[in-house]
Amino acid sequence: MKGIFEMREQIPAPRMIAISSGKGGVGKSSVTANIGVAMVEAGLKVGIVDADIYGPSIPGILGVAAKKPSMTPEGMIIPAEAHGIKVISMAMLTDDDSPAILRGPMVTKYLQSFVRQVDWGALDVLLLDLPPGTGDIQLTLAQAFPLSGAVVVSTPQDVSLKIARRGLRMMEQVKVPILGVVENMSGFTCPSCGTVTHIFDQGGGEAIARELGVSFLGKVPLDPAVVDAGDSGVPLIKAAPSSPAAAAYRQIAAMLSGVDSGAVGISVPFSWTVSDHASKPRSGAVQNGGAAERLVALDHNMGNLHLTWADGMAQILGARDLRILCRCAKCRDEVTGARLLDPDSVPLDIDLTRIWSVGNYALGLAFSDGHDTGIYTFTSLRTMNSTEIEDV
C-alpha cells in the first residue's frame, strides 16, 4: 500500500479538513473527535491526524489504546481505530509521561509521515486536529498538503474571538478556504431546570463569521458530560447521543460532509520534472476553488512558464524573469526587501527544471542554475509583468 497521495489513481484522495483554533482551551480536540464520529454515523470513512505534536489529546478522547502502532510489510504505519475512525497521534509513539522534545524540522518530519506514511486505505475525510496558534505546524500543513479547508473553533469570549480572527487571516493568506466557525461552550444548560446561562458571553461566533464573510457552522453548548465522556474514552456523541451538544456536532458534521466545490483546476499536490511529460500536472475537480487565483492550466514551452487562471487571465512568464524576481532569503533581504541577487549573474539561457505545488497557494520552481528555494505565491505570479492574453 502506497502513501495517501501516491495511490491517487487507485484510491481518490480524501477531503482534508483542518480543525484549528487561535488559542488553547477552547475544546478544539473534542469538537474534532465528535464531528468525526458523527461523520462515521453518516456513513463516511474518516481518519484523524492528531497534529498537536506537543499536546496530543485525540487518543484519550477516542479511547485509543496507548501502544505503538505496527507496520505493514511495505513499511507503512497501521493506524489505530476507535469508534470507526482511523487515528494517528504522537501519543501513540511516546510513553504517557514523556514529552515530545522536538525542534521545527523534526515536527515537520513527523507531520509529513502522519499523512503520507500511514496506511489509511480509502477515506472520504481526513480531519487534522491542529495545535492552537499560527506557527510552524499550521504553515507546514498548508504548504505540504492540499487542504480542502479549515474550521476555526472559538468560545464566545472576546479574547478568544480576537485570537480566532488572527487564525482565520493566517489561513486566508496561505489560500486555505475557511469552511466556517464553530462556537464552542456556547452557554450552559442547567440539567435540573433547563435554564441557559451564557458563561462566556454569547453570539460572538456568529458575529465574527458574519464580519469575515464565512459560514457559521453552529453552537455547541457547554455540557459536563463532555468532560466525563472525554475522560472515559467515549465521545459525547456516543455517551449522550440525544443531548443538545450531540445534536450540534451532527449538524456541524453534516455541513462539512458536503464540502466539495466541484471547481475545475490543477489537481494538487504535484511535482513536475519538466523533462518528464508523464509527471505534468493534470486538470480535474478541486476543492479550493471559486476564486480567480486558481490555476486551471499550467505549461512550459521554450523557456517560458504558461499560466491560465480561473477568471480567464493568461500569462507567459520567462524563466529568467522568474529567477530574477525570486523573493527567497538568498535573493532578497528578509527585513528590507532589498535585492541580494545580481541580475547580471543570471544566465540568459536559464530554464525551469522542476515545478511543484506548495499547498493551495503557490508554486515552487527549480532552475537550471541549481536554485530551488523560491516560493512563488499565486498573488505574486498574477502581478508579474507578463504577456497577457485576453480570454476570447
pLDDT for res 109: 81
Read off φ and ψ for residue 64, nearest 5 degrees: -80, 130
Is 229 found in the same domain as 174? yes
Across the chain, what does the average pLDDT equal?
80
Q: Write the CA distances from 116 to 134, 153, 271, integer angstroms.
A: 22, 26, 15
> Is 9 among the domain residues?
no
Which tops the pLDDT comparison, 318 or 55? Answer: 318
Write the pLDDT tens digit of every residue in 87-117: 998 888 766 555 555 566 677 787 888 888 8
> Per-residue confidence at 37, pLDDT binned at 50, 70, 90?
very high
Terminal Cα-to-Cα distance of the chain (whole angstroms): 45
Which tops the pLDDT comparison, 72 or 11? Answer: 72
Determine whether 196 is exposed, middle or buried from the number of CB atoms within 10 Å of its CB (0-12, 13-18, 19+): middle
Specify the range with the lowest mean pLDDT, choosing from 8-12, 34-38, 210-214, 277-281.
8-12
> Per-residue confidence at 2, pLDDT binned at 50, 70, 90?
very low
Residue 140 one-letter amino acid: T
Question: Considering only CA atoms, which of 11, 45, 378, 31 is closest in space to residue 179?
Answer: 31
pLDDT for res 139: 74
> Is 199 among the domain residues?
yes
pLDDT for res 355: 95
Residue 32 predicted with pLDDT over 50: yes
Strand partners, 87: 48, 80
Dihedral (C-alpha) 137, 143, 144, 147: value to the nearest 10 degrees? 90
Strand partners, 153: 182
Determine whether 282 is exposed, middle or buried from the number of CB atoms within 10 Å of its CB (0-12, 13-18, 19+): exposed
> Is 340 among the domain residues?
yes
The listed range with the strongest mean pLDDT (18-22, 97-101, 183-187) is 18-22
Is 345 found in the same domain as 270? yes
Which tops the pLDDT comparison, 104 or 17? Answer: 17
Question: Considering only CA atoms, which of 201, 130, 127 is closest in space to residue 170?
Answer: 130
Its domain, for residue 189, covers 15-257
Residue 357 predicted with pLDDT over 70: yes
Strand partners, 220: 184
> DSSP readout, 282-350?
-EEEESS-SSSS-EEEEEEETTEEEEEETTS-EEEEEHHHHHHT--STTTB-TTT--B-S-GGGS-TT-
Residue listed under C-alpha cell 515530545? 100
Last residue in a domain, options 257, 286, 306: 257
pLDDT for res 36: 95
Is 280 found in the same domain as 247? no
pLDDT for res 8: 41
pLDDT for res 135: 65
> Is 389 among the domain residues?
no
Segment holding 89, helix H or strand E = strand 85-89
> Is 3 among the domain residues?
no
Residues 141 and 158: their CA atoms lie apart, in Å, by 28
The listed range with the strongest mean pLDDT (168-182, 228-242, 298-312) is 298-312
Residue 80 predicted with pLDDT over 50: yes
> Is 6 among the domain residues?
no
Residue listed under C-alpha cell 535573493? 331
Is 269 found in the same domain as 239? no
Is 175 found in the same domain as 280? no
Specify the range with the lowest mean pLDDT, choosing from 15-29, 67-81, 152-166.
152-166
pLDDT for res 1: 37
Last residue in a domain, options 237, 257, 277: 257
> Per-residue confidence at 331, pLDDT binned at 50, 70, 90?
very high
pLDDT for res 387: 42
Is 278 found in the same domain as 129? no
Is 330 found in the same domain as 190? no
Structural contact between residues 91 and 28, judged by C-beta atoms closer than 8 angstroms: no
Strand partners, 332: 339
What is the mean pLDDT of the segment spanning 241-245? 85
The CATH number for 322's domain is: 3.30.2020.30
Last residue in a domain, options 206, 229, 257: 257
> Is 292 among the domain residues?
yes
Is 131 found in the same domain as 276? no
Is 325 found in the same domain as 179? no
Read off φ and ψ for residue 110, nearest 5 degrees: -65, -45
> Is 338 among the domain residues?
yes
The three-state (H, E, C) secondary structure of 220-285, written as one string: EEECHHHHHHHHHCCCHHHHCCCCHHHHHHHHHHHHHHCCCCCEEEECCCCEEECCCHHHCCCEEE
Question: For the sheet containing 314-318, what is the strand order?
Answer: 295-301, 304-309, 314-318
Is 213 found in the same domain as 112? yes
Residue listed under C-alpha cell 508523464? 278
Residue 322 one-letter amino acid: L
Is 292 found in the same domain as 214? no
Which tops the pLDDT comparison, 5 or 234? Answer: 234
The pTM (predicted TM-score) of the whole model is 0.69
Is 248 found in the same domain as 364? no
Domain count, the chain: 2
The CATH number for 88's domain is: 3.40.50.300
Specify the range with the lowest mean pLDDT, choosing from 241-250, 321-330, 381-390.
381-390
Percent residues over pLDDT 90 in the chain: 26
Q: Give, in degrees to the nearest 5, the angle at Cα 31 between 6 and 144.
A: 30
Question: Considering only CA atoms, which of 142, 172, 111 is closest in space to residue 357?
Answer: 142
